[in-house]
Chain A
Amino acid sequence: MTEAQDIYIQLESVSKAYRVAGQTLPIFSGLDLAIPKGDFVAVMGPSGSGKSTLLNMLAGIDRPDAGRVRIGTHSLDQMGEAARGSWRAHHMGIVFQFYNLLPMLNAAENVELPLLLKPLSARERRVRVERVLDLVGLAGRERQYPGMMSGGQQQRVGIARAIVADPGLLLCDEPTGDLDRASADDILEMLQTLNQVLGKTILMVTHDPQAARCAKRTLHLDKGVFVEEARAAE
């Protein structure tokens, strides 16, 4: 296997700018990034450095002005919105800072949402939901609604929803940003397990240095440029 084939996420000369009040605000200008399959990367940086824009482009919910965004064999920048949506449903899970659970659905129904897009029977969906809820430590809480759960529990539901369709890539946007230290440590341990045991490729945006230490390597983004890379001690 060549080095090029090992690369799972690749950004090539990506540029992005926003127009705000008639002014052009550049975010990236020729940004490059390569992440191999099975890696766990934390991206840190000050507010406005472009972390969220990077995550949005990798998720296919925002597009670069120039350059290429390639994940696996797919070039997201070449796909239409519908194709990117379908690609997300099958290959990617997203964990949000504020969980983003639907309040009128219980834990099991929230987790089941991505499976509605797959050709699975009700029984197959139920089995998968039970399995991932068990995996994140929420067995027995299937019928609880988000409003009845702590932040940590809601984030576990969010992670279960992100992995229930068995995607290869997890994008995490400040997954511990709204949690106390103990809950945050639980979530980070879970992400490490998903990476090390299940082989998920994880890219996590965070402000929390302790969270970043759980990743295999940490990239520092400042003013749209990766300025530093740190690898975790083996």
Chain B
Amino acid sequence: MTFLHLARRNALRKPLRAVLLMVCIATAFLIYGLTTSFLAGAQGTSAASEDILGVTSAGGRTQALPMAALSPLAAIPEVAGVAYVTRVRGFVDVEKNVVAVSAADMARLMDVNGKSLGLTPALLSAMDMARDRVLVGRALADAQGWTVGQRVAVTAFDVAKQDGGRDWRFEIAGIFEGETASTDTYFMIARYDYVNAARARGRDTVDAFVVRPSAQVSPAVLAARIDARFANSASPTRTQSEKQFLEAFLRQYADVGLIVNLVVGAAFVTLLMIVVNTMIFAIRERTFEIGVLKTLGFSSVHIVTLILVETSFVFLFGGGIGLLLAWLAAQFAGPELGLVFSPAVLVKGAAIMVGLSLATGALPAIAALRIPVINAFRTR
């Protein structure tokens, strides 16, 4: 027998209570794992670069920038490369099946952001063959069941064609995979010249420029320099990193990060109260036995260690199951959910587990320490 063995026996002495506690903890960590995986994955912000800059209108995302801004932007010495993008949001077949199309100059996009999107020369060549061709991200292709060569129609919400229609028809030229599992690939890339020529309004404008800074300059410094360059122009700009850009974009709909943190926080506070309460009762039930252990010569350090190991056992077991379930959900969930159970999610979850187990064990441990042996024996 070891101290660990003794702590484990204590933790499991009332199996039903231990199992219910573990289920409670597992549920909390399942919520944590799913929500943080969602935040890390579907939003694509975790994989978004802090180094690539997005230049939009200072008046807001709904205002376009003129294509004429491209030349002065590219002329800034610290700018290593510039791409431009116009977004077409719409749906396929039914309105709730929303998809996004980014219309871009393929060569420029390849130069600035090709690596993180997983674009290859072969994909670019495939796009050259016709103007209405698109590259579809892996997540979107899997979710829609699309294959290369298939023709798809996207009904735009806002971007009308010159003929008055809103149906944009494309042929799938290839599928891009994204650099990592957490790269957002739930969209497609069309040719800018095709969309620009066919749209009824806003011709020769872009929704954003994408800038790759040169190695000598920090992205933050360059962002400030770009905005200063256009501050007194007809189209003042707002420049952010790709990550900030995506996060701000998402915040238009909801502050997902704040919601996730509130949900996870509420789950953990509830968990903390339940487990602390249960552990205090469990230790109080054992006051007499703690007195016996002290009589046998177990020191305060031994008693505290036993209680902390006991709570850690319950937390690590329950929390481990919760994270395992979250990992399995991330593996088997459809790509449209975009769950990415990254190592960072695991490490943060493990750190929360250890922190919570020490926090919940501390109160009953202190209570046990304060019990004089004489008083402990009177509790029988």
Contacts and interface: CB of A to CB of B under 8 A. Distances in A.
Do A and B actually bind? yes
A190 interface: no
Given A102-B292, A104-B13, A85 B299 contact: yes
Nearest to A162: B296
A113 B288 CA distance: 16
Contacts of B9: 104-105, 109
Given A62-B374, A105-B9, A94 B3 contact: no
B295 A59 contact: yes
B297 A61 contact: no
Given A98-B380, A104-B10, A105-B9, A89 B296 contact: yes
A94 B373 CA distance: 14
Nearest to A161: B296
A100 B299 contact: no
B300 A82 contact: yes
Contacts of A139: none
A141 to B, nearest CB: 17
Given A61-B373, A82-B300, A102-B289, A116 B295 contact: no
Nearest to B10: A104
B12 to A, nearest CB: 8
Given A61-B374, A104-B10, A105-B9, A117 B297 contact: yes
A114 B296 contact: yes
A82 B13 CA distance: 28
B294 interface: yes
The bracket for how many chain B residues form the interface is 20 to 34
B6 interface: yes
A85 B292 contact: no
Contact of A85 (B2, B5, B289, B294): B294
A81 B295 CA distance: 11
Nearest to A90: B297
Contacts of A62: 374
B264 to A, nearest CB: 34
A94 B292 CA distance: 10
A86 B1 contact: no
A70 interface: no
Interface string B194-223: 000000000000000000000000000000
Interface string B288-307: 11001111111110100000
A114 B297 contact: yes
A88 B297 contact: yes
Contact of A88 (B296, B300, B302): B296
A88 B296 CA distance: 7
Contacts, number: 63
Contacts of A98: 380
Interface in B311-352: none
A94 B294 CA distance: 12
A56 interface: yes
Interface in A79-117: 81-82, 85-90, 94, 96, 98, 100, 102-105, 109, 112-114, 116-117
Contact of A116 (B6, B294, B300, B380): B6
Contact of A86 (B3, B5, B292, B299): B299
A166 to B, nearest CB: 13
A112 B3 CA distance: 11
Contact of B292 (A81, A89, A100): A100
A98 B291 CA distance: 14
Given A109-B1, A116-B3, A116-B6, A85 B380 contact: no
Contacts of A109: 1, 5, 9
Contacts of A125: 1
Contacts of B2: 116, 122
Contacts of A94: 295-296
Contacts of A117: 296-298, 302
A50 to B, nearest CB: 14
A82 B299 contact: yes
A113 B295 contact: no
A1 B365 CA distance: 48
Nearest to B294: A85
A54 to B, nearest CB: 13
A205 to B, nearest CB: 14
Given A61-B373, A62-B374, A112 B295 contact: no
A49 B353 CA distance: 52
Contacts of A112: 1
A162 to B, nearest CB: 9
A88 B3 contact: no
Given A109-B1, A112-B1, A86 B295 contact: no
A100 B373 CA distance: 13
A113 B135 CA distance: 69
Given A98-B380, A117-B298, 16 more contacts: A61-B372, A61-B373, A81-B300, A85-B297, A86-B299, A88-B296, A89-B296, A96-B292, A104-B9, A104-B10, A105-B1, A109-B5, A114-B296, A116-B2, A116-B6, A161-B296
17 contacts: A56-B374, A62-B374, A81-B300, A85-B294, A89-B296, A94-B295, A94-B296, A98-B380, A100-B289, A102-B292, A104-B12, A105-B1, A105-B6, A109-B5, A116-B3, A117-B297, A117-B298
**Pairs of residues from A and B, 3 with the lowest C-beta to C-beta distance, nearest first:** A89-B297, A61-B373, A104-B13
Interface of A: 56, 59, 61-62, 81-82, 85-90, 94, 96, 98, 100, 102-105, 109, 112-114, 116-117, 122, 125, 161
